[in-house]
A and B are shown apart, each in its own frame.
Chain A
């Protein structure tokens, strides 16, 4: 009797454990805001964060569905599928830089004159092509487009949009290494390692 009872309890416990939701499982679909929160969650593998001497560098992978949906809200020419196809030909990332535990504008970090500030702005706007690289299977790729979003201190971080060509021979399981040679804030070289499988597997946006 006691053995039967123990067995039943074990089976119940086993079922309960197996039914417990896996917080690392990918939801089937999410609304737009939920999707944004999902890709911002480091555990989902689409954002990589590095900290160095009070500076935090975050590299977000922006899925093509997300970009297409975001664009569709304003664009009326292309339908959503066309936009997805458009964005699917590239790998789009966003790098965010901010000061940890402080609110001042990160663009002023280490700046002692207006000339230095101008040089930094020029570098962020037009000089990132030479500082960012993507490595996949020992091949190196440079960005085809970069764009710096200057919020003029309204937000404490600086965002940079980066676009790489999607290599034709990339496969699931490949490692995607985005490297940033930081000649702007002088923190050395930062690497952001992504798994292409995780980049491909994202929820649907409702």
Chain B
């Protein structure tokens, strides 16, 4: 008869737990907690061209549906078509766009996928948090009587009881077996777990031993005095050895910050100290030069970060050249390391640095692609400068006895200081290596953008076969100067499509380029005046690219995100916390002075710098387009053109000023709960990411002959509320400790698109209507009532509203 391999009650218990979990997840799902869509806007995040030919995403298998809704006719090659598209597989944590959950109606945009820092950040401030309790260790240990033969250790054992405030108690034991110091075999155990064996070979010891014996004098008296002298020498050696051992009994650590995936370690300096005391006794027998020693020791050491938080400066990849100068040694560069970590003796390769360039994906009817920044020259990444100090002090008392000779005490005192610097490698004898700077007007195209996998031309990265190598020493330096410094030998990299850009500084009225190459114009549509460029001058203000037909796409309206934070808080010792199913935790966790005082561990970063997460499509012009008055696409221009205007709902002209910005937060309320090790209650953490972003909506598409108006509903949406503030203001609840906290900023939905002919604007040519409900994902937290669902598109239909009303049977979505 078959019997279960494990107990029946265990099966029941596990089954009950699984059923309970399914029940909870079905009726109280925990998935809808991220919401607010992060720094990007769902209206511009995805795009589908009009002429798609498949209902299935061949990569993911998700269902797609595309419904072309409107074409805005234009003359001379102008005009634009837009498509309403649905993509299944959207996460329940994503917010609905202005046309409903899973749907998108996007004219086109360039979206930035930020890696590390924004590429166009030029010396911007960032605050790093690395608050942690002081790391201290108390240890008491002893060495078992070990056998010496001819001053060489033969056999020794040791045991230490150690207590660390992070890791608790540990028992460390070990033994060493040596043959005259030539061959040494040792092993150790920590809490009973073997840490491995190590075998050292040192043939030079043989020569040292022989030499010391030959110098010993032979007559008695002199032999006695010599013995005393030798004994004294041995004592001195032991004293020095104990002192050196105690100084070696210290802990080095490089403090690492919590940081996003893909950033190199940011080093923070620490300070520390070691104190050691020891008592030892030695018994020897001179005739056979053999003896034994026993030592009892105790120690205390601690290490603490110099600062709980530090304000640093960082440079994006585009401005790496500026970070290389000597006075910026504490600044952080934008790169990542493969196999980042402390150097180990057995390592054959150092971590390889990679530039942390952002990915930009361009979308629009007739254009699509992904591109990134390239630097003309190969530069030098380096870690941020950090200087750590550890002080050491030791004292020892010993009692030495030699059979037949006598006994006596010895005392030892030692002090020391260890400095550790994190700094760039010395450059050695080679030519200095530097990135090309975009501010260098003598350099032709120092930085440029290029589409990924662009088959036109190539980027030459050199053909050196010899691997770079260096010898580990106290003063290492970079090797050789045979490696190339410039791509393509300094010539421009070929490419099939040109991607142009202007910084905000280039586009300002005061720019030397203004009125010469660029016109900063302000049309009747206010969307062009939404950016005050003065205090974000180094950021990229616009992109221009071309498709195969020569049509020029201008993405001239940057959409900014700012005040981003990614923080992790230690929960141990923080009172008043509420745990929600071990998934979220609520409490007074923030970096405000009031809260931070009660939190022992805080790690992460706070970055207030605004950066453009999206660039909106503002104009498409034909190859024969001519701007007659240098005021942008207008009716008096030649050639074909299409202009896109936008309305800003949240954000400010001055991107660093206070104002009404849409607040995103992940999770929407509370903090993600990371339980860590079940056996360690001190490593529980709560983490959060949040920031602010601007919100724009497409307002109109204008051609020479027609105009399409995108009418948003006067009624406010019931979903899509932004997140509440971190800290309570007045009576409004805060997101950190209130599960029902919600923000006050609401989003819009698209009611209809009305197409007019410019020669008769009184009557619409065509109207596209949209109808919604809130049936998807009921009980979404960021809704007005807290029980509503997300905006759900139910119906689309087309109408003709002139002399008679006419419509086509609607598309209905269930």
Do these two chains really belong together in a complex?
yes
Tell me, in angstroms, the Cα distance from A15 to B536 when the chains sit together: 96
Enumerate chain A residues within 8 angstroms of B296, measured Cβ to Cβ: none
With A90-B804, A126-B81: A145-B51 Cβ-Cβ less than 8 Å:
no
Enumerate chain B residues within 8 angstroms of A119, measured Cβ to Cβ: 51
Stretch in B454-462, B578-586, B779-787, B806-814 with 4+ CB within 8 Å of A: B806-814
Contact A122 B812 (CB under 8 A): no
Tell me, in angstroms, the Cα distance from A148 to B807 when the chains sit together: 14
Contact B81 A122 (CB under 8 A): yes
B182 at the interface (CB under 8 A from A): no
Stretch in A1-9, A35-43, A66-74, A171-179 with 4+ CB within 8 Å of B: A66-74
Enumerate chain A residues within 8 angstroms of B81, measured Cβ to Cβ: 122, 125-126
A44 at the interface (CB under 8 A from B): no
Question: For chain A residues 150-195, which have a beta carbon within 8 Å of chain B?
Answer: 150, 152-154, 161, 163, 165-166
Enumerate chain B residues within 8 angstroms of A74, measured Cβ to Cβ: 795, 810, 812
Question: For chain A residues 65-95, which have a beta carbon within 8 Å of chain B?
Answer: 67, 70-71, 74-75, 86-87, 89-90, 92
Q: Which of B50, B800, B809, B812 makes the CB contact (< 8 A) with A144?
A: B800
Contact A86 B805 (CB under 8 A): yes
Enumerate chain B residues within 8 angstroms of A90, measured Cβ to Cβ: 804, 806
Tell me, in angstroms, the Cα distance from A12 to B46 when the chains sit together: 75
A196 at the interface (CB under 8 A from B): no
A118 at the interface (CB under 8 A from B): yes
Q: How many whole Å from A129's CB to the nearest CB in chain B?
A: 10
**Binary A-proximity of B50-70 (CB < 8 A = 1, otherwise 0):** 110111000000000010100
Q: Which of B54, B55, B807 makes the CB contact (< 8 A) with A145?
A: B807
**Binary B-proximity of A133-159 (CB < 8 A = 1, otherwise 0):** 000000000001101101011100000
Q: How many whole Å from A162's CB to the nearest CB in chain B?
A: 9
**Binary A-proximity of B767-800 (CB < 8 A = 1, otherwise 0):** 0000000000000000000000000000100111
Q: How many whole Å from B670's CB to the nearest CB in chain A?
A: 39
Tell me, in angstroms, the Cα distance from A70 to B800 when the chains sit together: 19
Contact A89 B806 (CB under 8 A): yes
Q: How many whole Å from B79's CB to the nearest CB in chain A?
A: 9
Q: How many whole Å from B210's CB to the nearest CB in chain A?
A: 85
B715 at the interface (CB under 8 A from A): no
B647 at the interface (CB under 8 A from A): no
Q: Which of B51, B55, B798, B804 makes the CB contact (< 8 A) with A89?
A: B804
Contact A126 B68 (CB under 8 A): yes
With A74-B812, A147-B798: A165-B51 Cβ-Cβ less than 8 Å:
no
Q: Which of B51, B800, B804 makes the CB contact (< 8 A) with A122?
A: B51
Q: How many whole Å from B119's CB to the nearest CB in chain A?
A: 33
Enumerate chain A residues within 8 angstroms of B812, measured Cβ to Cβ: 74
Contact A144 B68 (CB under 8 A): no
A205 at the interface (CB under 8 A from B): no
B766 at the interface (CB under 8 A from A): yes
B803 at the interface (CB under 8 A from A): yes
Contact B800 A125 (CB under 8 A): no
With A74-B795, A74-B810, A126-B81: A121-B50 Cβ-Cβ less than 8 Å:
yes
**Binary B-proximity of A95-118 (CB < 8 A = 1, otherwise 0):** 000000000000100000010011
Q: Which of A67, A70, A118 makes the CB contact (< 8 A) with B51?
A: A118
B444 at the interface (CB under 8 A from A): no
Q: Which of B54, B798, B800, B807 gathers most chain A CB within 10 Å? A: B807
Contact B766 A125 (CB under 8 A): no
Tell me, in angstroms, the Cα distance from A118 to B795 when the chains sit together: 26
Identity of the chain A residue whose Cβ is nearest the Cβ of B49 in the assembled complex: A118
Contact B807 A86 (CB under 8 A): yes
B interface residues, tally (CB under 8 Å): 25
Enumerate chain A residues within 8 angstroms of B802, measured Cβ to Cβ: 144
Identity of the chain B residue whose Cβ is nearest the Cβ of A88 in the assembled complex: B804
Tell me, in angstroms, the Cα distance from A126 to B766 when the chains sit together: 12
Tell me, in angstroms, the Cα distance from A122 to B71 when the chains sit together: 9
Tell me, in angstroms, the Cα distance from A71 to B66 when the chains sit together: 22
Tell me, in angstroms, the Cα distance from A24 to B711 when the chains sit together: 50
Contact B805 A89 (CB under 8 A): yes
Q: How many whole Å from A66's CB to the nearest CB in chain B?
A: 10
Contact B808 A161 (CB under 8 A): yes
Q: Which of A87, A125, A152, A154 makes the CB contact (< 8 A) with B50?
A: A125
Tell me, in angstroms, the Cα distance from A150 to B49 when the chains sit together: 14
Identity of the chain B residue whose Cβ is nearest the Cβ of A68 in the assembled complex: B809
With A122-B50, A126-B81: A67-B71 Cβ-Cβ less than 8 Å:
no
With A122-B50, A145-B798: A152-B809 Cβ-Cβ less than 8 Å:
no
Q: How many whole Å from B40's CB to the nearest CB in chain A?
A: 28
Contact B805 A150 (CB under 8 A): no
Contact B804 A145 (CB under 8 A): no
Contact A161 B809 (CB under 8 A): yes
Contact B806 A152 (CB under 8 A): no
Enumerate chain A residues within 8 angstroms of B804, measured Cβ to Cβ: 89-90, 165-166
Contact B795 A165 (CB under 8 A): no
Enumerate chain B residues within 8 angstroms of A89, measured Cβ to Cβ: 804-806
Q: Which of B49, B71, B795 makes the CB contact (< 8 A) with A126?
A: B71
Q: How many whole Å from B29's CB to the nearest CB in chain A?
A: 29
Q: How many whole Å from A62's CB to the nearest CB in chain B?
A: 8
Identity of the chain A residue whose Cβ is nearest the Cβ of B800 in the assembled complex: A144
Q: How many whole Å from A38's CB to the nearest CB in chain B?
A: 18
Q: How many whole Å from B763's CB to the nearest CB in chain A?
A: 11
With A74-B795, A144-B806, A145-B806: A152-B53 Cβ-Cβ less than 8 Å:
yes
Identity of the chain A residue whose Cβ is nearest the Cβ of B68 in the assembled complex: A125
Tell me, in angstroms, the Cα distance from A52 to B467 when the chains sit together: 70
Enumerate chain B residues within 8 angstroms of A121, measured Cβ to Cβ: 50-51, 53, 68
**Binary B-proximity of A50-62 (CB < 8 A = 1, otherwise 0):** 0000000000000
Chain B residues within CB distance 8 Å of chain A: 49-51, 53-55, 66, 68, 71, 81, 766, 795, 798-800, 802-810, 812
Known: A118-B49, A163-B807, A165-B803. 12 other contacts (CB 8 A): A74-B810, A75-B810, A89-B804, A118-B51, A120-B51, A122-B81, A145-B800, A145-B807, A161-B808, A163-B800, A163-B808, A165-B804
- Between A and B, 23 residue pairs with Cβ closer than 8 Å are A70-B809, A71-B810, A74-B812, A75-B810, A86-B807, A89-B806, A90-B804, A114-B53, A117-B51, A121-B68, A122-B71, A125-B68, A125-B81, A126-B81, A144-B802, A145-B766, A145-B807, A145-B808, A148-B68, A153-B55, A154-B55, A161-B808, A161-B809
